[in-house]
């Protein structure tokens, strides 16, 4: 059974539709990210699941039970926000025990569960401290311990790492994933950070202006983006626009093939290729047999040590990007060089809209 089921959720503020018929299933034990740009409706959807916001239309099921009209405190959810929202005057122990006391768990049982939760987030021994005596990362661990100590059915995380600096954020990503696995709790994670979504999730749902444009495993949504928006929001993409002919798409006079089923000859088509799927073949080399071979001119090379990014002009003047590891030393081509871009038809994706 799905842990959480959002069914045809609609929400407007005044004349603005914030969520437009959103349906999404959150499987038991799975870590699902709601990924989208600011204002796409992620937080609103999370708050509707939590019960802080009431939807205009649709239903929320938790563990098969319709909770659409059930108040927040009866939904058995745990929540962590971007701001830690710890009680500053209370100790770490008391902060974590807060939700237990409200549920009537006190005394030795409460102490045991607080101890377990702090051990889970690796803060054993910090129970007597006040929040201000902890680092940002430690405070966020306390918030996490407080959310899981009541053994909720669902853990809701609203950009919980975005206040942390880059290094700490990466450390906390690893920690968060470990804790989520160990507890085995169904988790819904709101983020606008695509790398974070890919690194943490079992399932990613991409939102654009109140609609889910694509949902799937990180590999599925990255390798097979369904729309132009999904392709460019989750990672970088090269777009090749042309007309269907000769079993491929003619882009600026060059035939580009794809393994995807094409519309009829004469129709317009849009192809996408990820920058790391393209091999840059110098003028003296040859593209591998069966690969697309597209002539291009290097406009700029951005050297970054381990890898280089090549900005190129392709057929019909289309701007293209290639990302390549510097396996043989520095960049393989300089600005002004004429090169061939080689990429397999299998990695050339037909974009539906
Ligand atoms: P996200 O989390 O993707 O950044 P939100 O769900 O917070 O997006 O917001 C989606 C849209 O709804 C935004 O345009 C925002 O301004 C609007 N919105 C959110 N909450 C309210 C509210 N309480 N009143 C009016 N508009 C709101």
Which backbone phi and psi does 340 adopt, to 5 degrees?
Answer: -115, 135
Q: Are the beta carbons of 335 and 269 closer than 8 angstroms?
A: no
pLDDT of 269 reads 97
Please tell me if the CB atom of residue 41 comes closer than 6 angstroms to any atom of ligand 1.
yes
Which residue, by CA, sits nearest to atom 12 of ligand 1? 18
Please tell me if the CB atom of residue 13 comes closer than 6 angstroms to any atom of ligand 1.
yes
Distance in Å, CA 206 to ligand 1 centroid: 16
Counting ligand 1 atoms within 8 A of each CB, the residue from 6, 42, 44 with the most, and so the one to mutate, is: 44
Q: Give 193's contacts (C-beta < 8 A, 6+ positions apart).
A: 35, 162
Distance in Å, CA 45 to ligand 1 centroid: 10
Please tell me if the CB atom of residue 73 comes closer than 6 angstroms to any atom of ligand 1.
no
pLDDT of 8 reads 98
Task: Measure the CA–CA gap between 77 and 3, rounded to whole angstroms.
Answer: 11
Domains and CATH numbers, the chain: 4-231 (3.40.50.300), 236-351 (2.40.50.100)
Atom number, ligand 1, closest to the C-alpha of residue 47: 6
pLDDT in tens, 251-266: 999 999 999 999 999 9
Which residue, by CA, sits nearest to atom 7 of ligand 1? 43
Distance in Å, CA 124 to ligand 1 centroid: 38
Distance in Å, CA 16 to ligand 1 centroid: 9
Please tell me if the CB atom of residue 242 comes closer than 6 angstroms to any atom of ligand 1.
no
Cβ atoms < 10 Å from Cβ of 19: 27
pLDDT in tens, the chain (353 residues): 679 999 999 999 999 999 999 999 999 999 999 999 999 999 999 999 999 999 999 999 999 999 999 999 899 999 998 876 899 999 999 999 998 988 889 999 999 999 999 999 999 999 999 999 999 889 999 999 999 999 999 999 999 888 888 888 888 899 899 999 999 999 999 999 999 999 999 999 999 999 999 999 999 999 999 999 999 999 999 999 999 999 999 999 999 999 999 999 999 999 999 999 999 998 888 889 999 999 999 999 999 999 999 999 999 999 999 999 999 887 888 999 999 999 999 999 999 87
pLDDT of 1 reads 61
Please tell me if the CB atom of residue 42 comes closer than 6 angstroms to any atom of ligand 1.
yes
Please tell me if the CB atom of residue 210 comes closer than 6 angstroms to any atom of ligand 1.
no
> Cα 132–136–141 angle (5° rounding)?
100
Distance in Å, CA 299 to ligand 1 centroid: 41
Which residue, by CA, sits nearest to atom 19 of ligand 1? 44
Which residue, by CA, sits nearest to atom 25 of ligand 1? 13
Distance in Å, CA 19 to ligand 1 centroid: 9
Distance in Å, CA 99 to ligand 1 centroid: 28
Atom number, ligand 1, closest to the C-alpha of residue 45: 6
Please tell me if the CB atom of residue 180 comes closer than 6 angstroms to any atom of ligand 1.
no
Q: What is the 3-state secondary structure (H, E, C) of the chain?
A: CCCEEEEEEEEEECCEEEEEEEEEEECCCCEEEEECCCCCCHHHHHHHHHCCCCCCEEEEEECCEECCCCCHHHCCEEEECCCCCCCCCCCHHHHHHHHHHHCCCCHHHHHHHHHHHHHHCCCCCCCCCCHHHCCHHHHHHHHHHHHHCCCCCEEEEECCCCCCCHHHHHHHHHHHHHHHHHHCCEEEEEECCHHHHHHHCCEEEEEECCEEEEEECHHHHHHCCCCHHHHHHCCCCEEEEEEEECCEEEECCEEECCCCCCCCCCCEEEEEECHHHCEEECCCCCCCCCCEEEEEEEEEEEECCCEEEEEEECHHHCEEEEEEECCCCCCCCCCCCEEEEEECHHHCEEECC
Distance in Å, CA 12 to ligand 1 centroid: 9
């Amino acid at each position: 059974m799905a842990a959480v089921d959002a069914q045809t959720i609609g929400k407007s503020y005044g004349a603005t539709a914030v969520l437009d018929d959103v349906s999404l299933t959150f499987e038991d034990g799975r870590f699902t990210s709601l990924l989208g740009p600011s204002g796409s409706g992620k937080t609103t959807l999370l708050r509707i699941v939590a019960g802080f916001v009431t939807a205009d239309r649709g239903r929320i099921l938790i563990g098969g039970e319709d909770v659409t009209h059930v108040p927040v405190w009866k939904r058995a959810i745990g929540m962590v926000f971007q701001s830690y929202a710890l009680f500053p005057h209370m100790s770490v122990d008391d902060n974590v025990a807060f939700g237990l006391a409200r549920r009537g768990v006190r005394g030795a049982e409460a102490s045991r569960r607080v101890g377990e939760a702090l051990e889970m987030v690796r803060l054993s021994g910090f129970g007597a401290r006040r929040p201000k005596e902890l680092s940002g990362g430690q405070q966020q661990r306390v918030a996490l311990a407080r959310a899981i100590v009541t053994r909720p059915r669902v853990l809701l995380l609203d950009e919980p790492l975005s206040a942390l600096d880059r290094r700490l954020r990466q450390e906390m990503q690893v920690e968060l994933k470990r804790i989520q696995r160990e507890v085995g709790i169904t988790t819904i994670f709101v983020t606008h950070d695509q790398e974070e979504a890919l690194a943490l999730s079992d399932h990613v749902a991409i939102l654009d202006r109140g609609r889910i444009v694509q949902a799937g495993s990180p590999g599925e949504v990255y390798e097979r983006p369904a729309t132009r928006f999904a392709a460019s929001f989750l990672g970088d993409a090269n777009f090749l626009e042309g007309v269907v002919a000769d079993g491929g798409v003619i882009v600026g006079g060059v035939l580009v093939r794809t393994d995807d089923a094409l519309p009829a000859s004469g129709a317009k088509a849009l192809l996408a290729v990820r920058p790391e799927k393209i091999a840059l073949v110098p003028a003296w080399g040859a593209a591998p047999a069966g690969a697309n071979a597209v002539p291009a001119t290097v406009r700029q090379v951005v050297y970054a040590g381990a890898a280089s990014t090549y900005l190129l002009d392709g057929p019909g003047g289309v701007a293209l990007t290639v990302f390549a590891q510097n396996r043989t030393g520095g960049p393989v081509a300089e600005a002004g060089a004429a090169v061939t871009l080689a990429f397999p038809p299998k990695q050339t994706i037909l974009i539906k809209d």
